[in-house]
Amino acid sequence: MGVNVEGQINELINKLISEQAEDGSWKYPFETGILTDCCMIILLRTLQLEEDEDLIKSLTRRILNEQYEDGAWRLFLDEERGNISLTVSSYYALQISGYIDRDNPNLLQAKKFIIENGGIESVNMFTNVLLSLTGQKEWEVLFPIPVEAVLLPKSFPVNFFDISVFGRANIAPLLILADSKFVIKPLSSPKLNDLFIGESKNRKEEEMEETRSIIDFIEHGIKEIEEWHNDLHGKAIEYLEDYMIQHTEADGTLYSYFSATFYMIYAFLARGKSKNDPKIIKAISGLKSMICVINGNYHCQYTTANVWNTSLLSDAIQNAGVPTSHPTIIKATEYLLKRQHNKFGDWKIHSPRTLPGGWGFSNINTINPDIDDTSASLRSLSRLIHTQPIYQQSWNRGIQWILSMQNDDGGWASFERNVDNPLLNFLPYGEGLLMDASSTDLTGRTLEFLGMYTDIRKDHPQIKKATKWLFTRQNKEGSWDSRWGIYFIYGTWTAVLGLLAVNIGSDHPAIIRAKNWLTRIQNADGGWGESCRSDIAKKYVALKKSTLTHTAWALDALITISDKETPTIRKGINFLINEADIKERDNAYPVGQGLGGQFYIHYHSYQYVWPLITLVKYNKKFKHK
């Protein structure tokens, strides 16, 4: 087996070296299904931009290719009944594209599915916004925060900056759109009247009742500040427009997020800008700059993952034995150094004494650093810090930024410090969109970085506080959940590696419980696989087939725990070797999540980086035993 493992390691290294881009990054796609593709078609058609026919044709083909036999579209392969919101969006995009007739069999099948599953009335809030702003539905009270709420002072118990940065990025333009009830509907737009089934839904009224108390509280706060300010409504709209402009990246996108930029374009239109306004033209160009090709068709990425890919892959290749003097590592390092942040972002509001020093996720990101990308980038630089002063300076800035971002509860969140106001749970999508609370995966990966890559004492108060927080988050059966991965396997892997890196022994009861749980859920083929349904049900749901990524995560944890090779580990390694050439389409199951039940991610780099890391660890630990 050793020869096969080493052979697979070398094959992965050679592949990754050959696929590095000229700028030193790895540009593997950040694939998020077809919703962004649908939105791009609808955007270009509603703005009547005629020069993009090749793009629209390709996106149309991609959407059609992803339709299932029952007429539906799904967020992931084993989504039980198809996804009504995604199916309505796809149906709409295909019709408005102009290339698919409404009597096309694919659309007839989709229409049948929609009608049988509650009609257009059953779509989620985000699809409702899409339909409302393009004139297919009447505007409703979809997100019940009054626009004036953005002017509530930071001393108020809930304010604009209590919302997560990714929540703010989307809510800022959405508030403008909802407030103005903006509609743009060209005469050529299709009519979706036949998707309404005419049944009144009480769901929204029920949701309003659940959130009424917090809305009343916010409205009371607004009335208090209205006594001191004239035209509070106008000032709030101007504030939101200025917020969008001030947080626009050099490529014209809002925080380099597709959805935020999509809404921002319509918000600019609502504010009276022409579709030919330079800000709108640049924003559309920015969205197009994130387009990649998957299986021969264009895909509009939600954002790019270049920094994330590059930091992970550079560290993995170095750990596999490629020296820092290799051209691949030199180019990757130069790329990452150029993308360390020098600007202050919104994070400074919650951490005012901290200087910039983090990294963001995407290629163009300059103001929205995150903890995971920062620790990953520092891992890739760790072998260079003593060779040149520039590396040491970069290292010090990054370390200080990470340490300053620890939450008061001991954990780490994704982007900012202490953005975990429990009042937000009373609002729609509170936990997933509005809050950026401490999570197992961020805390575990940060602990692993601090324990394995720095000389910070293992009994340092911040380490002890984070360790204590992680212990409190373990489930009874031995697993941990997570924020950005699927779901219990990802969380358990990150927690185990984090705890072991700070001198928690493999004989600790929490580690034993995790080991036993991972062993129990191994599939008969030797691998591991978890369904995206886990993060919806909040309990472990097995995937019928194993994935390379889940297998690598589980194995990495078990190898780190174990002092000798076990049958479980041997079977898992065999799976990684035997399935290494698995077809891309068969390996496309999303193992990342952006918003549970709404938004899932297939990282195209993951099928290489995590097996490589795990095989190298296995080879180093057991090859001579």
Give the active site residues.
Answer: 372
Rounded CA separation 611/615 (Å): 6
Tokens coding 54? 């090749």
Q: Quote the DSSP letter at residue 599.
A: E
- Helix, coil or strand: residue 192: coil
The pairing of strands 592-595 and 542-547 is unpaired
Are residues 418 and 408 in contact, defined by beta-carbon separation less than 8 angstroms?
A: yes
Helix axes 2-18, 567-578, angle to 10 degrees: 40
| Residue 306 DSSP class | H
Q: Which helix (H) or strand (E) holds 107?
A: helix 105-116
In sign, the C-alpha dihedral spanning 119, 124, 127, 131 is: positive
d(CA 546, CA 531) in angstroms, rounded, equals 10
Task: Residue 591: name the closest of 506, 485, 435 by CA.
Answer: 485
Report the relative pairing of strands 599-603 and 30-31 from DSSP bridges. antiparallel
Neighbour tally for 470: CB within 10 Å: 25
Burial 533-556 (b: 16+ CB within 10 A, else e): bbbbeeebbebeebbbbbbbbbbb
CA torsion angle 184 190 196 202 (round to 10): -20
Alpha-carbon distance of 357 to 244, in angstroms, equals 23
Question: Helix (H, G, I), strand (E, B), or coil: what is residue 542?
Answer: strand
| Rounded CA separation 354/343 (Å) | 11
For residues 194 and 563, what is the distance between their CA atoms, to the nearest angstrom? 63
